[in-house]
Amino acid sequence: MKILGLVGGTTWLSTIDYYRYINQGINDSLGGLNYAECILYSLNFGDIDKNNERNDWDSNYRLVLTACKRLISGGAEGLVLCANTIHLLYDRLKKEIDIPIIHIADATAAEIRKLSIDKVSLLGTKFTMEHEFFRQKLAENGIEAILPSENDRKFIHESISGELAKNIFSDKTREKYVSIIEGLADKGAKGVILGCTEIPLLVKQEDVSIPAFDTTLIHSNAAVEFALS
Q: Which of 149, 136, 19, 139 is nearest to 88 (CA)?
A: 136
Give CA–CA dist 65/132, Å, rounded. Answer: 21
- What domains sit in the chain, N to C, each tagged with a CATH number? 4-103+218-228 (3.40.50.1860), 105-213 (3.40.50.1860)
Give CA–CA dist 220/143, Å, rounded. Answer: 21
**In a structure prediction context, what are the per-residue pLDDT tens digits for the chain, which is 229 residues long?**
999 999 999 999 999 999 999 999 999 999 999 999 999 999 999 999 999 889 899 999 999 999 999 999 999 999 999 999 999 999 999 999 999 999 999 999 999 999 999 999 999 999 999 999 999 999 999 999 999 999 999 999 999 999 999 999 999 999 999 999 999 999 999 999 999 999 999 999 999 999 999 999 999 999 999 999 9
Look up the pTM and report it.
0.95
